[in-house]
Amino acid sequence: MSPRAVSIENVSHFYGKRQALNEVTLSIDPGEIFVFLGPNGGGKSTLFRLLSTLMPLSHGEINILSRSVRTHQHEVRQQIGVVFQMPSLDKKLTVLENIHQQAALYGITGALLKERTALLLDKLELEDRKKDIVEDLSGGLRRRVELAKGMLHSPKVLLLDEPSTGLDPAARQAMWRYLEFLRTDQGVTVILTSHLLEEAEKADRIAILDQGQLVALDTPDALKDKIGGATITIRSRQPEALIEKLRDELNLSATEVSELVRLETEDGPATIRMIMQTASDLVDAITLAKPSLEDVFIAMTGRQFTEEVKS
Ligand SMILES: Nc1ncnc2c1ncn2[C@@H]1O[C@H](COP(=O)(O)OP(=O)(O)OP(=O)(O)O)[C@@H](O)[C@H]1O
């Protein structure tokens, strides 16, 4: 069996008396795109800092490619690429100069530097911008330069903290294309934190962190399947009359949410047939949707994903 890319065992973290992580245990396989998803304050950044060896581990154990972040910090750093939330680029230098600065830190020179730089500029679609000063670049291009820096030493594990923050949809797509290339073509394990539900949908697996606890861990589809059932949403010009009719004639309990009539059901198609046979005069449009990751979060925590947590 190939070793885990990352194993996290019983990891807790305290800032003074405040507990930011509570006994988190999970492992990540080589070549996975893995997302730590959570609302603000969930503990994602704390775990990211521990994984990237930015902060010392005090409780539990973390191994990256079989090396402990506690005892083999230097070796771990050689194996990981890190893209932080805070920009790390020198804005007054060009794209190429920033990359060369990073190369000097890792002792990458000569033909190897040339070869790696050419591949990164090509894959990150930065070739025609390599002589531009970083401060003249858009947020999306800057993030790509950060990625080039993070991947320059060809790490086997790439860690990214909230990489989509501040990017427009096109820039996000470009970044995801590159992450998928790294996973598929280079076998890199890609681990990112995110508070965006739609981004987590793209992951191979998701760990949901809430108030420092690991509350769910699986593929996006498996997480949604565990909730089961489906949601029917109906647009109606007479929502109140429709809700009454569904209750009185079909014994269905529906509610009005944002001017739409919604109900949860175990068997979507059968329920839709019943509704259309009985109340089609009150239905303008009807849709059936599987549970979303938001529904998963609500089921696991009893709260909306966006709800503030008092700390
Ligand atoms: N340097 C710090 N000192 C004290 N408490 C902290 C510190 N950093 C984080 N915390 C607290 O630890 C908990 C987890 O925070 P963390 O930043 O890890 O969460 P997060 O999921 O990354 O949230 P966000 O998306 O808002 O960054 C929160 O209650 C937070 O207030």
| Contact present, 42 and 193 (Cβ < 8 Å) | no
Contact yes or no for 126/120 (Cβ under 8 A): yes
- Mean of pLDDT values over 223-238: 88
Q: Work out which ligand 1 atom sits closest to the CA atom of 47.
A: 18
Q: How confident is the model at residue 229 (pLDDT cuts 50, 70, 90)?
A: confident
Q: Which ipTM was obtained for this model?
A: 0.95
CA of 29 to the centre of ligand 1 (A): 26
What CATH number has the domain spanning 6-224?
3.40.50.300
In which band, very low, low, confident or very high, does the pLDDT at 308 lie, cut at 50, 70 and 90? low
What's the mean pLDDT in 248-276? 90
Kindly state the average pLDDT of the residues 44-63: 95
What is the average pLDDT value for the chain, to the nearest integer?
91
Which pLDDT does position 236 carry in this prediction? 96
Query: Which residues surround ligand 1 with Cβ inside 6 Å?
Result: 15, 18, 20, 38, 40-46, 195, 311
6-224 and 229-290 share one CATH topology?
Answer: no
The answer to whether 34 touches 207, Cβ cutoff 8 Å, is yes
Q: What b-and-e string marks burial along 191-221, b requiring 16 or more CB atoms within 10 Å of the CB?
A: bbbbbbbebbebbbbbbbbbbbbbbbbeebe
Looking at per-residue pLDDT, the higher value among 310 and 36 belongs to: 36
Q: What pLDDT score was predicted for residue 2? A: 63
Name which CATH class applies to 229-290. Answer: alpha beta
> For residue 307, what pLDDT is reported?
60
Q: Where are the domains of the chain?
A: 6-224, 229-290
Quick one: what percent of the chain has pLDDT higher than 90? 71
Residue 183 CA to ligand 1 centre (angstroms): 29
pLDDT of 289: 87
Tell whether the model's pLDDT for residue 273 goes beyond 80.
yes
Atom of ligand 1 minimally distant from the CA of 309: 29
Annotate 32-46 with b (16+ C-beta within 10 A) or e (fewer).
bbbbbbbbebbbbbb
